[in-house]
């Protein structure tokens, strides 16, 4: 007699980890404050390491965009048709990170090159945490000019990627985003 042994995890076979309950958890105030990008083929030994980031920055394999104003949509999961008695299932999740950079004038060439690049991964920070998009992204950049004389001209950057999981969350790397550094790598 032959029988089927399922492989992999699907449906009820997934073991859900226990929820971590805490009444005194640390609050992390919102706003995308800084953005970093790094070569897609680089694997961090420790993504929270200032030394490792600094080595990448000096080698021209990473960039830091400091003091931005932005938001992250949290990801939008596509609903797809299910099978059997299951009416629908989760499909791909599309994530969108948007930020404004007031340093657009001196970075025109940087942004023109970046929007044509498909081999970068991104991190962004809130007050205390650093989030990692673990997939290559599509980048669009525009510099709209409003009619109000009180508005500030900024580059508006939209980063869009597909990743099924919620981005990884780490402690914000101390000192990495605190000061402007000039790197000489090409």
pLDDT of 3 > 60? The answer is no
> What is the mean predicted confidence (pLDDT) over 138-166?
95
pLDDT of residue 130: 97
pTM: 0.84
Report which secondary-structure segment, H or E, holds 111.
helix 108-114
Secondary structure letter of residue 25 according to DSSP: P
Q: Is residue 11 part of a domain?
A: no
Cβ atoms of 29 and 71 closer than 8 Å? no
- In terms of residue numbers, what domain contains 136? 28-79+86-171
pLDDT of 11 > 70? The answer is no
- Residues with Cβ within 8 Å of 124's Cβ and at least 6 positions away in sequence, in order, are 32, 33, 34, 35, 36, 70, 72, 97, 99, 130, 131, 133
Q: Is residue 3 part of a domain?
A: no
Cβ atoms of 131 and 173 closer than 8 Å? no
Q: Is residue 121 part of a domain?
A: yes
CA distances from residue 179 to 34, 48, 122, 170, 176 in whole angstroms, order as listed: 11, 17, 19, 20, 7
Q: Is residue 56 part of a domain?
A: yes
User: Terminal CA-to-CA distance of the chain, rounded, Å?
Assistant: 66
Q: Is residue 139 part of a domain?
A: yes
Q: Is residue 23 part of a domain?
A: no
The tens digit of pLDDT for each residue in 53-110 reads 999 999 999 999 999 999 999 999 999 898 888 888 888 999 999 999 999 999 999 9
Q: Is residue 142 part of a domain?
A: yes
Average pLDDT, the chain: 88
* Coil/strand/helix, residue 163: coil
> Structural domain tally of the chain?
1
pLDDT of residue 128: 94
**Residue 129: which of 40, 32, 51, 22 has the closest Cα?**
32
Q: Is residue 181 part of a domain?
A: no
The tens digit of pLDDT for each residue in 23-45 reads 777 888 899 999 999 999 999 99
């Amino acid at each position: 007699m032959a029988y089927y042994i399922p492989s992999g995890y699907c449906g009820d076979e997934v073991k859900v980890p226990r929820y971590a309950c805490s009444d005194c958890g640390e609050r992390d105030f919102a706003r995308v404050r800084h953005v970093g990008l790094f070569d897609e083929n680089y694997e961090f030994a420790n993504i929270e390491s200032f030394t490792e980031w600094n080595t990448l920055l000096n080698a021209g394999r990473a960039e830091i965009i400091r003091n931005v104003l932005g938001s992250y949509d949290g990801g939008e999961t596509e609903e797809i048709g299910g099978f059997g008695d299951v009416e629908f299932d989760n499909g791909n999740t599309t994530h969108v990170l948007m930020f404004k950079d007031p340093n657009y004038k001196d970075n025109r060439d940087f942004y023109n090159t970046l929007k044509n690049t498909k081999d970068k991964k991104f991190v962004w920070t809130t007050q205390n945490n650093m989030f990692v998009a673990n997939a290559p992204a599509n980048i669009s950049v525009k510099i709209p000019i409003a009619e109000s004389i009180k508005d500030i001209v900024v580059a508006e950057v939209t980063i869009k990627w597909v990743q099924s999981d919620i981005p990884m969350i780490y402690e914000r790397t101390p000192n990495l985003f605190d000061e402007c550094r000039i790197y000489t790598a090409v």
